[in-house]
Structure 1
C-alpha cells in the first residue's frame, strides 16, 4: 500500500513539474511578444520542440530570450526610452526623424515625434493626447534645454507640411524663449484660454509682458533667419503663440487681424515628401502680438489648418 502511495505522489509531482513549467513558459513567451512586437520564431520553435522533454529547459531559454529582447532594444524604443529627442540624437547621430518613446525625468513614458533633419535636429514634438488640463508646466519645459529657438511645423488641408525656426529678434537675443504647458505666468493670457484652454494648452512666449509693454518699440521674432517685426502702436504687451488640443471641439474667438502672419507664412520652408509628421501632433493655434502686430488663429489661415511646436 505504501509503495502505491509513493508512486502516486511521484506521478503528481511529475504532472505539477510539467504543468508549472509549461504555464510559466507560455506566460513569458506572451510577454516577449507584447514587449517587442515579435518573437524570434525560429529559436522559440526549436526550444518549443523540447518542451515535451523538459519544460524547464524551455522556460530557461525563454528567460534568456526575454532578457536579450530588453537589453538589445534600441534607445528610443518602448523598452529603452530616451530622455528627449536631443538625448536620442546625442546617443545616435544617425537617428532618423520619426516617432520614438521618451521618458523625461520624473515623468511617464510618452510617444513623441523627433525631428532630426531640420535645424540640426533634436526637436521633440508632443501629441495632442499628451496635453491635458492635469499636466504640469514642467512636463514640456524640462524637454527644452536650448531656449534660443523652437521649431514650428504647419500642415495644410492636403497634408503638405512646412517649418519655421523661430528665434528672438537680434535686439532681444539675450531673452530666452518661454515654453510651458498650462502656464503663461509673466505673459498675457491667450484669448481662448478660458474655453479651449480648459482641457490644456501649450504656450510659447516671445517677450514677457513687462518687456513688451512699450509703445513705439519694434517687436516680433525671426523666422528661418528673417525678421518678422512690427511697431507696437499702443503698448499692448501681447507676444505669444498658444496651441490648443481642443479636446471638446469648441469654437474659437472670431476676432481676426492678420497683420504679420502673412509675412511669417512667406518665410515657411517645405518639409520633404515622406517626412510628414502624423496629424496627432498638430494643434489649433492662436497668435497675438501687440498693439498692431497680429491676432490670428489657424481657422483663418486658409489652406494651412494647424501647427505644432518642437523644443530641444
Structure 2
C-alpha cells in the first residue's frame, strides 16, 4: 500500500470454475488475451479463464480469500488476468486507468486481505506494477494509476500430498 503497509490475499478461481487451474507464465499469455501494457517489460502472467471459456453471458471473475467477485460478460472480450510487470525502466503504461474503485473487481483482492506484520514484508524489489483486466464489462486497472497501491507481488503456495 502507499502508506508502506503490506497485505496478503489468496486468489483462486471462482467457485463455479474451481476445477479449472490458474496458469502462471513468464512473459507470455498463451490461450489468454494479451496484456495491455507489454511496454513495461518482462512480466509474470496469472491467468484465470482462457479465451475459449469466455463469451457473452458467461459469468467470470475471481475469488479473493474465499469470497467470489464475478460479473456477466457483456461483449465477449475475454481478458481474465493479473499481470505483474518488472518495469525496470520505470516507464508509464501505454494504457492507464482511473483511480482505484472501492468495490469493483479490480479492488476485490482487498476483500478479507490480511495485514502483514512488518517483519513479514517483502522487499521493494519483489513488488511489481500490476495490471488487472477482466474484459467484457468487468474492469481494467493498473497500479501506476492508483493513489493507494504501489504494486503487487505474486506468491505461490505449494501443497504436498
TM-score for both structures, normalised by structure 2: 0.88
Determine which structure has greater relative contact order: mean sequence separation of CA pairs < 8 Å that are 6+ residues apart, divided by chain length: 2
Q: How far, CA to CA, are the matches of 2:74 and 2:96 in structure 1? A: 19
Q: Which residue of 2 aligns with 1:204?
A: 46
Q: Which residue of 1 aligns with 2:23?
A: 178
Q: Which residue of 1 aligns with 2:137?
A: 292
- How many residue pairs match? The answer is 153
Unaligned runs of 5+ in 2: none
Q: How far, CA to CA, are the matches of 1:169 and 1:218 in structure 2? A: 9
Q: How far, CA to CA, are the matches of 1:262 and 1:180 in structure 2? A: 23
Alignment of 1:118-197 (within 5 A): 156-193=1-38, 195-197=39-41
Please tell me whether residue 249 in structure 1 is matched to residue 90 in structure 2. Answer: yes
Please tell me whether residue 264 in structure 1 is matched to residue 109 in structure 2. Answer: yes
Q: How far, CA to CA, are the matches of 2:59 and 2:113 in structure 1? A: 22
Tell me the secondary structure at the aligned position of residue 9 of structure 2: strand
Higher CA-based Rg: 1
C-alpha change, 1:188 and 1:254, in structure 2 (3 Å) is: closer
| 8 Å contact from structure 1 (residues 228, 264) kept in 2 | no
Please tell me whether residue 236 in structure 1 is matched to residue 77 in structure 2. Answer: yes
Q: Offset of 1:242 from its aligned partner? A: 0.4
Pick from 241, 260, 280 the counterpart of residue 125 of structure 2: 280
More helix by share: 1
Q: Offset of 1:254 from its aligned partner? A: 4.1
Moved more, 262-271 or 280-289: 262-271
Q: How far, CA to CA, are the matches of 1:249 and 1:300 in structure 2? A: 13
Give the alignment's Cα RMSD to 1 decimal.
Answer: 1.5
Q: How far, CA to CA, are the matches of 1:268 and 1:253 in structure 2? A: 29
Q: How far, CA to CA, are the matches of 1:273 and 1:227 in structure 2? A: 28
Q: How far, CA to CA, are the matches of 1:180 and 1:254 in structure 2? A: 22
TM-score for both structures, normalised by structure 1: 0.47
Unaligned runs of 5+ in 1: 1-155
